[in-house]
Amino acid sequence: MSRQTRRSREERARARRRRLRRGRSLLQALVGSALALPGMGGGARADSPLERPSSDYSFRFYAEEPLPQGKAAAGNPTRERYEILMHQFHLESPATERSDVALDIVHETMTGASPWFVRNQGGTPAQVMSGATIQEERTDALVSGNYYFDRAKLGASAGISTENDYFSWNLGSSGEMSFNDKNTTLSAGVGFSDDTIEPTEAALFGRIEKARKNGYSVFAGLSQVIGRKSVTQTSLSYKLNDGYLSDPYKLAEVGGANVPDNRPRERHQLAWLTRYRRHYESVAASLHLDYRYYFDDWQVTSHTLEAAWYQSLFGVARLIPSFRYYSQSQAEFYSPFYASAPADGFVSSDYRLSPYGAIAYGVKAEARLEDWPRHWDWTLSAGWERYAADGDLALKRVSVESPGLVSFDLFSVQLKGSF
């Protein structure tokens, strides 16, 4: 291509972009002024009901890394950990002019071994896994709906969850209200759950036969539009857990002998989450930043920082790299093993209550197909995330990390259709 042809092509492209910018600015100016007229901007709702039904199916494969040889106790039956195949089915649809409904069904198949107890091997904690391979299935169902007012929304949900050894049902309700030209939104909600656990092989292993726990939660949040390109939200969530909160499948070594995992029958939890979303027009991408501060009355405190970059490509695809940093302190009564029984009797060697940090990173790709065959839109996505927990990653120095810390890979694919 000659220099001249190239230049005139560039000039024409520039002129085209100028025209598009001018055209859009004209349109924006006209629509903006039109909306200021009485009765013209009315009817626009803060959030509106879904306009069309859509459905999606996701498949995820979760695979934990085997326990490192150096962390396993002598005589440990298997170093294999968990593998989960997860199916998620979702259906949502407008119901009336002011409402919509949704149905979520999740089915999981879990196999593998999980940490059982930690042995004191010459002063160093070593993990013993459960022997027999677990094979469990979990099915969840949730129905939810929303009702929309001019500047507000009300939602409710009800769900159940069943597993071989477990049954739970839950209820939730939430609402939100917008102010300030819909730039500020206040939201709040409550939730209740009732769980019953009947551990398998209870008699054989001397486990409790049946136990219950209840969860009562409440949250309140405030979101604010900062400008055309950014928005932020901060929210507080509180949950009261009441009942049997121990893990019936875990033991703790106390003075050389194994005793059942025993945690307090009450736990108060508070999480403070702040989120920020910002769009970068020139590169057609959006930044997601989330920070969560958590603490509870078991003395666990944690920090979570998540970042994701939503990069649009060619108008029909997206590439989303993401990163997550997590750090938690230990529960007050946690210890890999105990020399003697603590005064209050609470013991747990569960790595999930130990101090550690974790880094996760991943990437997801999405592609969209619109208007095929007629007015149907499709999105296909695939992603992968890798997570690794380590005592050295924690914010505060960890003197003895749990031998049971986990690393995993999570692979996902999803197909979504809007009709």
At closest approach, how far in Å is the CB of 142 from other proteins? 8
In SS3 terms, 71-108 reads as: HECCCCCCCCCCEEEEEEEEEEEEEECCEEEEEEEEEE
- Burial class from Cβ neighbours inside 10 Å (0-12, 13-18, 19+) for residue 5 reads exposed
Kindly state the smallest distance separating residue 33's Cβ from other proteins, in Å.
4
Give the integer Cα–Cα distance in Å for 410 and 62: 5
Query: Measured between alpha carbons, how far is 346 from 263 in angstroms, rounded to an integer?
Result: 5
Q: Residue 146 or 235: which CB sits closer to other proteins?
A: 235
For residue 252, the minimal CB distance to other proteins (Å) is: 14
CA dist 145 → 92, 98, 105, 157, 340 (Å): 9, 11, 15, 7, 52
Of 124 and 377, which CB lies nearer to other proteins in the complex structure?
Answer: 377
HEC string for 134-156: EEEEEEEEEEEEEEECCCEEEEE
Q: Which is nearer to other proteins, 26 or 339 (CB)?
A: 26
Q: Take residue 44 and report the two structure tokens written for it.
A: 């626009």
The residue among 124 and 416 lying less far from other proteins, judged by its C-beta, is 416
In the complex, minimum distance from the CB of residue 189 to other proteins, in angstroms, rounded to a whole number = 5
Q: Which is nearer to other proteins, 120 or 230 (CB)?
A: 230
* Closest to other proteins by CB, 114 or 262: 114
Task: Output the smallest distance, CB 179 to other proteins, in A.
Answer: 7
Which H or E run contains 304?
Answer: strand 301-313
User: In Å, how far from its chain's centre is CA 168?
Assistant: 19
d(CA 218, CA 190): 4
Nearer to other proteins, 192 or 369 (CB): 192
Shortest approach of other proteins to residue 123 CB, angstroms? 25
Nearer Cβ to other proteins (255/299): 299
CB of 407 to other proteins, least distance (A): 10
CB of 275 to other proteins, least distance (A): 6
In the bound complex, what is the minimum distance in angstroms from residue 298's beta carbon to other proteins?
Answer: 8
Among candidate residues 247, 326, 328, the one with its CA nearest the CA of residue 291: 326
Residues 354/405, Cβ–Cβ less than 8 Å: yes
Beta bridge partners of 136: 110
DSSP designation for 348: B
Closest CA to 130 of 78, 196, 85, 89: 78
Residue 397 beta carbon to other proteins: minimum distance, rounded to whole angstroms: 18
Phi, psi of 256 (to 5 degrees): 85, -15
Residue 90 or 265 having the CB closest to other proteins: 90
What contacts 148, CB < 8 A, 6 or more positions away? 45, 46, 47, 48, 49, 98, 99
Closer to other proteins by CB, 131 or 256: give it.
131
